[in-house]
Amino acid sequence: MRKIFDFHGGIHPAENKYQSVRTPIAQAGIPAQLILPLAQHIGAPAMPVVEVGEKVLKGQVIAEPVGFVSVPLHAPSSGLITAIEDRQIAHPSGRTARCIVIDTDGQDEWIAHSGTDNYRELDKSELINRIRNAGIAGMGGAGFPSAVKLSVRPDTRIDTLIINGTECEPYITADDILMRERADKIIAGAQILSHLISPGETLIGVEDNKPEGIAALTEAAADTDIQIVIFPTKYPSGGEKQLIEILTGKQVPSGGLPSDVGIVCQNIGTTVAIRDAVIDGRPLVSRVTTVTGDSVAEPQNFETLLGTPMGYLLEQAGYAPEKNNRLIMGGPMMGFTVPRADVPIVKTTNCVLAPTEAELPTPPPAQACIRCGTCSEACPASLLPQQMFWFAQGQEYEKLEQHNLFDCIECGACSYVCPSHIPLVQYYRASKAEILQQRKDAEKSEYSLKRFEARQERLAREEAEKEAKRAARKKAAEAKAKQAAEQGATEEDPIQAAIERAKAKKAAQAKGASGENELEKLEKAVVNTRKRLDTATAKLETAKSENPDLVDALQTGVDKTRAKLAAAEKALQDYQQANALESASAAAEPADAAQLAIQKAMAAREADASKSPEEKARDNLTKLESRLAKSQAKLAQSRDAGNEEKIIDALVSTVERLTGKVEEARAELAKLAPAAEPAAAAAEPPSAADAAIARAKAAREATAAMSPAEKARDNLQKLEARLQKSTEKLAAAREAGDDTVVEALEASLEKMNAKIDDARAKVAEMGDA
């Protein structure tokens, strides 16, 4: 005879079990509609894999698990998916949750499925996968995924496997009727579990108020090593920790798991479901549910499809709503009131209770606590319900956790014995929900903070990389300049070298070292500023045709450089005038190559001044024709590159304006030239300009004839072509180490990418339309 232990506290409420075990398990039938919540278990809700309007068969997967602590959901019967939406579910708060709604077709057609009798030949991991894929979660009320509970770590030794057949809650007889009618399946399921976790012993614990069930189990387990252990009836001996203490004398530590003391527990209904999944290949699509209470004419147990509305099930038992004051899902101790009768049956629903007011009176209003201590004596978890009640009222959640709030199994024993009728369990349940919500909020806040910090680190890292690239380019440019300087005067421009020598000689003859230095500085400033102006002007001209986004920045640079050149030239001129006598003396000496160049330039100026009006007009016409040719070339390049219409229009306007000036210059020249020459000039048509204008007008007309969608696609192609060219120029600028151009091109590329994104969105919008 095995030794039986006892646990602290406990009560003996009226059982009221005999009403629902007078008849065998009945089939509830197929309701017109099934409502299947995606969260019928502890852990992450399942994810739908079907769509509205889809036909499904019985046993077909309609929602897959999300993560390790989750289970799939199967269609309890064949039919049509009509909705995936929020519906009222079985929950103490009366909240809604995501559900899959099936309109049944009455055929109850199964999907192909098969099991195996030779499960001992299968790998244990495959067996656990079969249990997981069958969607089995704890059916005693907790709903913890069975596959997770059975996935014991290899280094954890399991001494005892306990099958919980206690069913201590008043009114409920779902496990009792299973023991009476399906004892062989319970033993087969226990053997599968024993094979999976290899315990030292396997026990089935049953209270002594179930003699028929005990007799059936004893007979079924006769040729096995499974022990049927009987112990006195006391509520709540069906609690997991309480049952472990009754059968083994071990106490699970606060916040711990049964596996910490070498024990695994499974419910009777869960054990039968595991057997059906492994041997028959049948997923969890139905369960035995007790329907009882004085408001039903025929209290009994039904084999009920998951998702069956409570109202349909009550009708099968002869429900009289006029007698009923409330509907309870579960028993009178741990169950909860549901607001309406269309709440669906789920995997953890072991009872639907429809009492009358006389049978289960509405609790009277709560009175003040008299500090009698009866609740502490009744608590099976050895807690201090009175103290926890005060902490819950004051929302002192930290103190509640310090007093082991989460060890409370919400059995209701404290509320049952309270002379002041205080709903203690409701206070504890609400406090648990608030603490869990605070933890979730804290986790979200911490996660957001980590994301923000990671983003800041990424931005700082990117900025550091950019700064390192800038420094590298600067260093390369300095090294290049230093190398060029070290190559010596032999590689310098001979004209510039001659100018420098002339300047040095003039300064030496004019005055001493201070005067020489001053003149040298002024002349160098003029030369260097002129070089910078030429370079800036060239870049500006290039940008006008190829990179319009840089024009403003480069134009500003050109204006500033031109102003600096004017200032440098004026300073040099003032200095030369102040030293006119010395300069004249120096000019009399034999001139070197640079002096000859200067004299040639001055002679050219004098020659230009001495030109006749006709010659000046001819030179002006030549310059205008040269500018016109360049503008025409830029227009052609811009059109080939696919630039924006506003850029092409601007170039067309420039070509037209220059063409007009050329015509005016020709007319002016015709007035000054002999009569024959103007006639000849007039006979020459400005074919290049006319052709450019004609092409521009043709492009405008072609664009105007395009549809909005064609214009959007054409604009996108042009922008992508510009982006490609700008990217190539950026690469060249980086290689050359030109920081100013690199930064300007990077800014231009950012703007261009934004324009391309907008253009693509517009093209997509046009395509959808």
More confident residue, 587 or 652: 652
| Residue 88 is assigned to a structural domain of this protein | yes
If asked whether residues 262 and 197 sit together in one domain, one would say yes
Rounded to an integer, the average pLDDT of 146-150 is 91
Question: Distance of CA 410 to CAs 141, 164, 415, 423, 441, Å?
Answer: 12, 18, 10, 11, 25
| Residue 67 is assigned to a structural domain of this protein | yes
Per-residue pLDDT band for 577 (boundaries 50, 70, 90) equals confident
599-648: pLDDT as tens digits? 665 666 666 666 677 777 788 888 888 888 888 887 777 776 666 666 77
pLDDT greater than 80 at residue 550:
no
| Residue 435 is assigned to a structural domain of this protein | yes
Rounded to an integer, the average pLDDT of 95-109 is 94
pLDDT greater than 50 at residue 246:
yes
Find out whether 414 and 378 touch, Cβ atoms under 8 Å.
Answer: yes
The angle at the Cα of 143, spanning 138 to 145, to the nearest 5 degrees, equals 70
Find out whether 267 and 26 touch, Cβ atoms under 8 Å.
Answer: no
Indicate the DSSP class of residue 277: I
Question: Distance of CA 397 to CAs 428, 441, 500, 512, Å?
Answer: 10, 15, 88, 92
pLDDT greater than 50 at residue 700:
yes
If asked whether residues 292 and 335 sit together in one domain, one would say yes
Find out whether 226 and 187 touch, Cβ atoms under 8 Å.
Answer: yes
Instruction: Look up the pTM and report it.
Output: 0.61
Confidence (pLDDT) at 504? 63
Strand partners, 301: 290
If asked whether residues 342 and 389 sit together in one domain, one would say no
pLDDT greater than 70 at residue 10:
yes
If asked whether residues 307 and 384 sit together in one domain, one would say no
Q: Per the annotation, does 418 bind a ligand?
A: yes
| Residue 679 is assigned to a structural domain of this protein | no
Furthest-apart CA atoms within the chain: distance in Å: 141
In this prediction, what percent of the chain has a pLDDT beyond 70?
85
Question: Distance of CA 739 to CAs 470, 476, 724, Å?
Answer: 7, 11, 20
Q: How far apart are CA 378 and CA 373, in angstroms?
A: 9
DSSP code per residue over 610-666: T--HHHHHHHHHHHHHHHHHHHHHHHHHHHHHT--HHHHHHHHHHHHHHHHHHHHHH
If asked whether residues 135 and 279 sit together in one domain, one would say yes
Per-residue pLDDT band for 535 (boundaries 50, 70, 90) equals confident
Q: How far apart are CA 699 and CA 642, in angstroms?
A: 12
Confidence (pLDDT) at 76? 97
Phi, psi (degrees; rounded to nearest 5) at 516: -60, -45
Task: Encode 498-514: b = buried (16+ Cβ within 10 Å), e = exposed.
Answer: bbbebbebbbeebeeee
655-676: pLDDT as tens digits? 788 888 888 888 877 777 654 3
If asked whether residues 60 and 159 sit together in one domain, one would say yes
Which of 353, 386, 414 delimits the end of a domain?
353
Q: How far apart are CA 227 and CA 190, in angstroms?
A: 11
Three-state DSSP at 126 gives helix
If asked whether residues 374 and 323 sit together in one domain, one would say no
Find out whether 314 and 343 touch, Cβ atoms under 8 Å.
Answer: no
If asked whether residues 293 and 431 sit together in one domain, one would say no
Phi, psi (degrees; rounded to nearest 5) at 59: 90, -5
In this prediction, what percent of the chain has a pLDDT beyond 90?
52
Q: How far apart are CA 731 and CA 541, in angstroms?
A: 20
Q: Which of 398-407, 449-458, 587-596 has the lowest mean pLDDT?
A: 587-596
pLDDT greater than 60 at residue 16:
yes
Three-state DSSP at 112 gives coil
The arrangement of strands across the sheet holding 79-88 comes to: 33-37, 96-104, 79-88, 55-56
Q: Which of 30-44, 59-73, 149-163 has the lowest mean pLDDT?
A: 149-163
Cα of 731 vs its chain's centroid, Å: 34
If asked whether residues 403 and 326 sit together in one domain, one would say no
Find out whether 109 and 90 touch, Cβ atoms under 8 Å.
Answer: no
| Residue 637 is assigned to a structural domain of this protein | no
Sequence-distant (6+) residues with CB within 8 A of 102 are 33, 34, 36, 56, 62, 75, 76, 77, 79, 80, 81, 82, 307
DSSP code per residue over 281-309: ---S-EEEEEEESTTBSS-EEEEEETT-B
| CATH assignment of the domain containing 420 | 1.10.1060
Which of 306, 330, 353 delimits the end of a domain?
353
Sequence-distant (6+) residues with CB within 8 A of 457 are none
pLDDT greater than 60 at residue 345:
yes
pLDDT greater than 60 at residue 488:
no
Q: How far apart are CA 608 and CA 433, in angstroms?
A: 97
Token pair of 484 as six digits: 């060029």
Q: How far apart are CA 510 and CA 516, in angstroms?
A: 8
If asked whether residues 339 and 383 sit together in one domain, one would say no
pLDDT greater than 80 at residue 769:
no
Confidence (pLDDT) at 208? 94
If asked whether residues 301 and 424 sit together in one domain, one would say no
If asked whether residues 89 and 34 sit together in one domain, one would say yes
| Residue 587 is assigned to a structural domain of this protein | no
Find out whether 335 and 328 touch, Cβ atoms under 8 Å.
Answer: yes
Axis crossing angle, helix 513-546 with helix 551-578, rounded to the nearest 10: 160
Q: Residue 713 is inside which H or E element, if any?
A: helix 708-736
Q: How far apart are CA 396 and CA 110, in angstroms?
A: 53
Phi, psi (degrees; rounded to nearest 5) at 232: -65, 150
Find out whether 424 and 414 touch, Cβ atoms under 8 Å.
Answer: yes
pLDDT greater than 80 at residue 316:
yes
E-assigned strand segments in 339-383: 351-353
Q: How far apart are CA 343 and CA 56, in angstroms?
A: 22
pLDDT greater than 50 at residue 283:
yes
Find out whether 196 and 127 touch, Cβ atoms under 8 Å.
Answer: yes
Full domain range(s) for residue 96: 18-353
Report cis status (omega within 30 of 0) of the bond before 170.
no
Q: Which of 59-63, 128-132, 373-377, 586-590 has the lowest mean pLDDT?
A: 586-590
Which of 353, 373, 402 delimits the end of a domain?
353
**What is the rounded average pLDDT for all residues in the chain?**
84
More confident residue, 241 or 579: 241
More confident residue, 596 or 329: 329
Three-state DSSP at 45 gives coil
Q: What is the dihedral of CA 214, 220, 222, 223, to 10 degrees?
A: -160
- Of 470, 490, 474, nearest in space to 482 by CA: 474
Secondary structure, 3-state, 6-23: CCCCCECCCCCCHHHCCC
| Residue 655 is assigned to a structural domain of this protein | no
Tell the burial category of 407 from Cβ atoms under 10 Å away from its Cβ (0-12, 13-18, 19+). Answer: middle
Tell the burial category of 404 from Cβ atoms under 10 Å away from its Cβ (0-12, 13-18, 19+). Answer: middle
Q: How far apart are CA 109 and CA 59, in angstroms?
A: 9
Number of domains in the chain: 2
Confidence (pLDDT) at 495? 55
Confidence (pLDDT) at 251? 93
pLDDT greater than 90 at residue 650:
no
Find out whether 257 and 231 touch, Cβ atoms under 8 Å.
Answer: no
| Residue 219 is assigned to a structural domain of this protein | yes
The angle at the Cα of 302, spanning 301 to 306, to the nearest 5 degrees, equals 130
Find out whether 426 and 343 touch, Cβ atoms under 8 Å.
Answer: no
Token pair of 286 as six digits: 């139905």
| CATH assignment of the domain containing 315 | 3.40.50.11540
Q: Per the annotation, does 411 bind a ligand?
A: yes
Q: Residue 449 is inside which H or E element, if any?
A: helix 424-486
Q: Per the annotation, does 369 bind a ligand?
A: yes
